[in-house]
Amino acid sequence: MDGVGPGGFVVRRACGSESEALAGIDVVAAGGDVGRRASIRRWCRQGLVIVAEDVSGLLGYCVLEYTFFEQGFVTMLMVAPPARGRGVGHRLLEAVADSCTTPRLFTSTNVSNRPMRRLLWRAGWSQVGFLHGLDEGDPELFYLCRPRPQPQPASP
């Protein structure tokens, strides 16, 4: 997971001490949402966060949990506004897919979240369902990460 990728940034597991820095790039937490800040602290403490960073600092983060029917679930994907459009979100999704330990990996987003829906489509995720009632008037779309082709062993 570590190593500089095509966008000139590194993707790695977050340290527990990085929760305040992550809250600083999260538009919801930075806007004063104490619940989001508490979630970020908990995710970091539990070792669930993967971050992208470059020489300027943190660019984004992704949270992978196994609480959705005991399958992998991307609970949060956040890219700092100045880092958007650089492939950070796509690379974080790849890193999470590579590290997922269950056969299936899911995520969800609101219908209104067009940037996330576009990212998931470009990353090859399949839309698998709708849920009404979480956010009034804005249904939740669920996605499944298409399995990546596994390398075939060389034949003798």
Encode pLDDT of 63-84 as tens digits: 999 999 999 999 999 999 999 9
pLDDT on residue 16: 85
Structure tokens at 3: 């190593």
The pLDDT confidence band at residue 144, using thresholds 50, 70 and 90, is very high
pLDDT on residue 8: 84
Q: How far apart are CA 9 and CA 69, in angstroms?
A: 33
Position 149 pLDDT exceeds 90: no
In percent, the amount of the chain with pLDDT more than 90 equals 83
Q: In what order do the strands lie in the sheet with 105-110?
A: 10-13, 49-54, 57-68, 71-79, 105-110, 140-145, 125-131
Task: Please provide the average confidence, as pLDDT, over all residues in the chain.
Answer: 91
Structural domains for the chain: 10-145 (3.40.630.30)
pLDDT on residue 63: 98
Encode pLDDT of 79-124 as tens digits: 999 999 999 999 999 999 999 999 999 999 999 999 999 999 999 9
